[in-house]
Structure 1
Amino acid sequence: MGQQVAFFEVISANAERARKFYAELFDWQVDADPAMGGYALVDTGGGIGGGIGPSTGPGDTGVKIYMRVDDLDAYLDRAERLGGKRLVPPTDLPGDFGRFAIFADPDGNQVGLWA
């Protein structure tokens, strides 16, 4: 069995607008956390959860999927061997949420890894 999609993320230059848009469009529960810089965890009511947050730098806006993996470095290395590019090294998440990393595929699409 392949690696599963574990999380999605919407990053916006206007995170408040994005939170409102997706909450109203899909009837999602979206709760911004001031302690996380306004990043909001999304409860879709079943299935995959996600997050909606503010942009923190040039080129980071858009939609990403995060794949659940057991070894961030191994998957980043594998992505590079297949023509991808490492963008964000393994980084701790706040609390007990684990670690994440981000790479770009050969077409420039950003994909997250979560362990």
Structure 2
Amino acid sequence: MTNPAPGTLAWFEVATSDPDGAQKFYGSLFDWTFEPDGPAASGGMDYRNITASGAGAPMGGLAGTGGQSPDHSIFYILVADVEATCADATQLGGSVVSKHLDPGPGAPTFAYLRDPGGNLFGVFTPPAA
């Protein structure tokens, strides 16, 4: 599988304090399937990859917040360079909410940004193969 081109809307997340309820809702509404991703069974974050019916790969994720953050949804744009994109966004009147430039082995580099109107979105670069 190849990655989409930079500038492509490439991932989304639904973060919720009720991941089982969200999975039931979205799964029933859109016929999505969910597969655990990560160490939830060993006490880590509850993260579930979302795949559309008939799709060959996940398109998003469902994150259980454990009530530690407000429920929200966010979209992510694939970029060639997260740090450069953060600098460009700032020059264009946006702001950087947070950067995660070294998230660990196998994890994407990503950042949360706000556009000049205050809308939150994410940018990411996939981990090296």
1:3-52 deviation line (CA, Å, top 9, x unaligned) = 10110111112222112211111111112346151111111133870001
Q: Root-mean-square deviation (CA), in Å?
A: 2.4
Instruction: Tell me the equivalent position of 2:97.
Output: 87
Larger Rg: 2
Runs of 4 or more, structure 1, over 3 Å off, are 56-59, 91-95
Letter in 1 for 2:48: A
After the TM superposition, which of the residue ranges 27-36 and 79-88 deviates more from structure 2? 27-36
Q: Tell me which residue corresponds to 1:28.
A: 32
The number of residue pairs the alignment matches comes to 114
> Percent of aligned positions with the same letter in both sequences?
29
2:22 corresponds in structure 1 to 18
Which amino acid in the other structure matches residue 107 of structure 1?
A: G
The 1:95–1:29 alpha-carbon spacing in structure 2 relative to 1, beyond 3 Å, is farther
Secondary structure of the residue that 1:64 maps to in structure 2? strand
Match of 1:49 in 2: 59
AA aligned to 1:43 is T
Paired AA for residue 50 in structure 1: G
More strand by share: 1
Q: Distance in 2 between matches of 1:77 and 1:53?
A: 28
Pair 34,113 (structure 1): closer, same or farther in 2 beyond 3 Å: closer
Distance change in 2, residues 1:63/1:30 (3 Å) = same
Unpaired runs of 5+ residues, structure 1, are none
